């Protein structure tokens, strides 16, 4: 029994030290970050723009999403709620320049992260380049550590862009 208690106390100390170290490293990282990714598609910008702008259809081609509910607000703004593998997040269509640029921002204040994505659609050769720039803030120090060292700050953008490429029948590698 004494050996078990020593082992248990030792394990608890190791866990506390590990979590404390992760939190301390996360605390030292900047809260704000900017990251960008892009892909080339053999599609005109208007086709890609229309697909991205049709938020309600995203679950049909993006397996990370279970549902998207789009709501027109009384002031004319578009809000939408995504439910997916990472829970539920509320967004606002903040800026919309047809066939050129879309900016969406997170409306929730209690996620441990916030920010916006800026999509740009540009003709390039025999197709188009779509780029996403994320301007984010991560207030939760553990999540800040994980986003930097575990899954990376571009993982969600990479997943989205890869799914978008598949939707158009193309295999893409975000850069």
| Residue 92, domain CATH | 3.30.530.20
The pLDDT score that the predictor gives to residue 5 is 87
The pLDDT score that the predictor gives to residue 63 is 95
Residue 152 in any domain: the answer is: yes
Quick one: three-class SS letters along the chain? CHHHHHHHHHHHHHHHHHHHHHHHHHHHCCCEEEEEEEEEECCCHHHHHHHHHCHHHHHHCCCCEEEEEEEECCCCCEEEEEEECCEEEEEEEEEEECCCEEEEEECCCCCCEEEEEEEEEEEECCEEEEEEEEEEEECCHHHHHHHHHCCCCCHHHHHHHHHHHHHCCCCCCCC
Mean pLDDT of 19-39: 89
Residue 6 in any domain: the answer is: no
Domain coverage including residue 163 = 31-167
Residue 26 in any domain: the answer is: no
Q: How far apart are the C-alpha atoms of 165 and 42, rounded to whole Å? A: 9
Residue 2 in any domain: the answer is: no
The pLDDT score that the predictor gives to residue 133 is 98
Q: Give the pLDDT band of residue 12 (cuts 50, 70, 90).
A: confident
- Round the average pLDDT of the chain to a whole number and report it: 93
Q: Give the pLDDT band of residue 112 (cuts 50, 70, 90).
A: confident
């Amino acid at each position: 029994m004494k050996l078990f208690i020593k082992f248990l106390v030792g394990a608890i100390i190791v866990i506390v030290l590990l979590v404390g170290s992760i939190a301390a490293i996360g605390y030292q990282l900047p809260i704000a970050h900017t990251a960008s990714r892009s892909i080339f598609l053999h599609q005109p910008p208007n086709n890609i723009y229309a697909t991205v702008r049709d938020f309600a259809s995203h679950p049909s081609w993006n397996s990370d999403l279970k549902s998207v509910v789009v709501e027109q607000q009384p002031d004319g703004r578009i809000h939408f709620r995504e439910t997916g593998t990472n829970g539920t997040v509320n967004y606002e269509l903040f800026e919309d320049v047809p066939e050129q640029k879309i900016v969406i921002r997170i409306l929730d204040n209690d996620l441990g992260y916030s920010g916006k994505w800026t999509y740009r659609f540009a003709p390039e050769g025999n197709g188009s380049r779509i780029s996403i720039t994320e301007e984010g803030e991560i207030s939760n120090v553990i999540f800040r550590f994980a986003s930097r060292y575990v899954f990376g700050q571009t993982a969600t953008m990479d997943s989205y862009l890869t799914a978008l490429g598949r939707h158009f029948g193309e295999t893409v590698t975000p850069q």
